[in-house]
Amino acid sequence: MTTPTLAPVLMVQGTSSSVGKSLLVTGLCRLFADTGVRVAPFKAQNMSNNAAVTDTGGEIGRAQWVQARAARVRPRVEMNPVLLKPESNHRSQVILLGHPLATLDYRDYRNRREETWPAITAALDTLRAEHDLVIIEGAGSPAETNLRDRDVVNMAIALYASAPVLLAGDIDRGGVFAHLYGTWALVAPEERALIRGFILNKFRGDATLLTPAIDDLQRLTGIPTAGIVPWFPRHEIPEEDAVSLETRPSDRTEAWRGVDVAVLRFPRIANFDDLDPLAAEPDVRVRWVESAAEWGNPDLVILPGTKSTIADLDWLRAQGLEGHLRASVNAGAGVLGLCGGYQMLGRSLADPARVEGDREYADGLGLLPVTTVFAPGKRTAQSRAAVVGDRGLLEGARGIAVTGYEIHAGQTSKATPAVTLPDGAPVGATDEGGWVFGCYLHGLLHNTDLRRRLLTNLADRRKRQYSPAPPRDDEAAFDRLAVALRASLDLRLLTELTGVAL
């Protein structure tokens, strides 16, 4: 039996989390795909509640799903064999090759490396056997020496694949040269030998001013700087995890006449890129709200998805937000609950098997006539559905076809349906007036016709200004990113490392 030839790999690691690794890999996937090679993304282990569903029903990190689209290939579970979905500060649900393995604390998870590592390496080998090039993304920093013995996502996978590594640092936050040098100095000698270039990411200013420091860094390490990548303030590509919300602008300073949207920033928020299409609307202001002082007078309140529904419902109440929510409803604001937010809007949430946490029961907010029961097992599916409601937020929307994906453990009782699957099963419901709307479909607001109808209805009711934004072009965003990387990276070095002529 002939052993398949394995494709070359290129790896992007970072000096810390949030230095822009995911965006760099996305751009590299499109850059190489434009040459005609079959390229695939890979991240051995991802910690994020921002997940996506493949066409086989498996969960992967949203970033790898986006990277696959940039590479013009089908997203698949091998691209992110381990996904950790935090449920609290101490435990995460472990998704292995797209499906739940267990819910573990960190110490227990560390002891499962013998189970996860073979799946990780087999997934990478599969991608390498079926593609011409694989772009690997690391996580956090490889210089966390306390984690080295159980590493699966940084230098461990780089050593396994003999991957040349580009080490990226965030120059916008300052101290990037110390971060790059310190990371290089702290990794083991055999790991250090894999680092072939540094990337200065998120740069704003005159690049010529960096020359002395770049020269010093190369003199100290022997490693060249592979590129100075510019800052992308609005790249229009979904972010990997909720860290990005900490720096996302929450308001606009001018007097606002458009639609004001308050989104609850739950501690375990999931799939927050559901809200990206609203933020791209010029007549919509999206504010992330964590306290009563930030509430204001919203036209629409959104309860987004969450990995820990009952715990985040407790948080909502502890922050004093329930009373503000009810006051907004009484004042004529609309309410939209997505997935876990939909479940919260019902009358009750029961978790007899303690699937999501330690609480077996919680009273819901009572704004929708539904109840939810959690049970072992999870529905993960890409879904096509149709709007059947025609009141309130959905007035005039009946018959609109929508697509999205479902990731939820709870089953919600049937109410008067607002959105149904082809077999008639409801995945969304409204209250009697239609101004409180809950739906299980992530990606609901990415459906342009529905989003425009919902915002138009809301603006008419609240006497707000709203003109629909032009349709979003994700392909154009990928292309712009690839063009920027082509202009800012050392293409000769990339060609040398991958064997692919750029």
Same-domain check for residues 283 and 258: yes
- pLDDT number for residue 253: 47
Residue 7 burial by Cβ neighbours in a 10 Å radius (0-12, 13-18, 19+): buried
Same-domain check for residues 297 and 439: yes
Q: Flag whether 98 is in a domain.
A: no
* Active-site residue, 90 included: no
Q: Flag whether 79 is in a domain.
A: no
What is the rounded distance in angstroms from the CA atom of residue 65 to the CA atom of residue 83? 12
User: What HEC string does 74-109 produce?
Assistant: CCCHHHCCEEEEECCCCEEEEEECCEEEEEEEHHHH
Across 231-235, average pLDDT:
69
The active-site residue, picked from 339, 408, 439, 446, is 339
Residue with tokens 């990206």: 276
Same-domain check for residues 272 and 226: no
What is the rounded distance in angstroms from the CA atom of residue 175 to the CA atom of residue 2? 50
Same-domain check for residues 213 and 171: yes
Q: Are 344 and 304 in contact (CB under 8 A)?
A: no
Q: Are 429 and 469 in contact (CB under 8 A)?
A: no
* Nearest CA-CA partner of 145 in 191, 109, 92: 191
| pLDDT at residue 235 tops 60 | no
Q: How far, rounded to the nearest angstrom, does the alpha carbon of residue 444 sit from its chain's CA centroid?
A: 15
In our burial notation (b when 16+ CB lie closer than 10 A, e otherwise), range 299-311 reads bbbbbbbbbbbbb
Residue 438 burial by Cβ neighbours in a 10 Å radius (0-12, 13-18, 19+): buried
* CATH, residue 167: 3.40.50.300
| Number of domains comprising the chain | 2
What is the rounded distance in angstroms from the CA atom of residue 159 to the CA atom of residue 395? 57
| pLDDT at residue 320 tops 90 | yes
Residue 267, phi then psi, degrees to nearest 5: -60, -35
Span 156-193, pLDDT tens digits: 999 999 999 999 999 888 899 999 999 999 999 999 99
Residue with tokens 């250090």: 192
Of residues 102 and 26, more confidently modeled: 26
- pLDDT number for residue 238: 60
- pLDDT number for residue 284: 95
What is the rounded distance in angstroms from the CA atom of residue 368 to the CA atom of residue 440? 14
Same-domain check for residues 248 and 232: no
Q: Report how far apart, in Å, the C-alpha atoms of 208 and of each of 167, 205, 222, 226, 423 are.
A: 21, 9, 20, 15, 62
Same-domain check for residues 326 and 183: no
Across 77-97, average pLDDT:
87
Across 207-222, average pLDDT:
92
- Beta-bridged to residue 338, according to DSSP, are 439
Across 358-372, average pLDDT:
92
Instruction: State the Cα angle at 243 between 487 and 448, rounded to 5°.
Output: 75
Same-domain check for residues 194 and 262: no
Same-domain check for residues 401 and 426: yes
| pLDDT at residue 368 tops 80 | yes
Instruction: State the Cα angle at 156 between 153 and 160, rounded to 5°.
Output: 115
3-state SS assignment for residue 338: strand
| pLDDT at residue 407 tops 50 | yes
Work out the pLDDT band at 8, boundaries 50, 70, 90: very high
Q: Flag whether 54 is in a domain.
A: no
Span 113-171, pLDDT tens digits: 888 999 999 999 999 999 999 999 999 999 988 888 889 999 999 999 999 999 999 98
Span 323-360, pLDDT tens digits: 999 999 999 999 999 999 999 999 999 999 888 778 88
Q: Are 368 and 345 in contact (CB under 8 A)?
A: yes
Q: Which has the minimum average pLDDT: 246-250, 298-302, 480-484?
A: 246-250
Same-domain check for residues 319 and 213: no
* Active-site residue, 446 included: no
Q: Flag whether 95 is in a domain.
A: no
* CATH, residue 385: 3.40.50.880
| pLDDT at residue 482 tops 60 | yes
Q: Are 464 and 257 in contact (CB under 8 A)?
A: yes
Q: Flag whether 177 is in a domain.
A: yes
Q: Give the sign of the dihedral formed by CA 409, CA 109, CA 92, CA 73.
A: negative
What is the rounded distance in angstroms from the CA atom of residue 11 to the CA atom of residue 42? 9
Work out the pLDDT band at 240, boundaries 50, 70, 90: low
What is the rounded distance in angstroms from the CA atom of residue 311 to the CA atom of residue 423? 33
Work out the pLDDT band at 104, boundaries 50, 70, 90: confident
| pLDDT at residue 414 tops 90 | no
Same-domain check for residues 191 and 247: no
DSSP characters over 118-170: HHHHHHHHHHHHHSSEEEEE--S-TT-GGGGGG--SSHHHHHHHT--EEEEEE
Q: Flag whether 251 is in a domain.
A: yes
Quote the percentage of the chain above a pLDDT of 90: 65
The active-site residue, picked from 131, 179, 408, 442, is 442
What is the rounded distance in angstroms from the CA atom of residue 253 to the CA atom of residue 231? 22
Whole-model pTM? 0.82
Mean pLDDT over the full length of the chain: 90
Same-domain check for residues 260 and 289: yes
Q: Which domain holds residue 328?
A: 242-462
Q: Which has the minimum average pLDDT: 102-106, 263-267, 324-328?
A: 102-106
Same-domain check for residues 121 and 208: yes
Quote the percentage of the chain above a pLDDT of 70: 95
Span 35-73, pLDDT tens digits: 999 999 999 999 888 888 898 899 999 999 999 999 999
Q: Flag whether 219 is in a domain.
A: yes
Work out the pLDDT band at 474, boundaries 50, 70, 90: confident
Q: Is 424 left (phi over 0), alpha (psi -120 to 50) or beta?
A: left
Across 185-210, average pLDDT:
92
Q: Flag whether 148 is in a domain.
A: yes
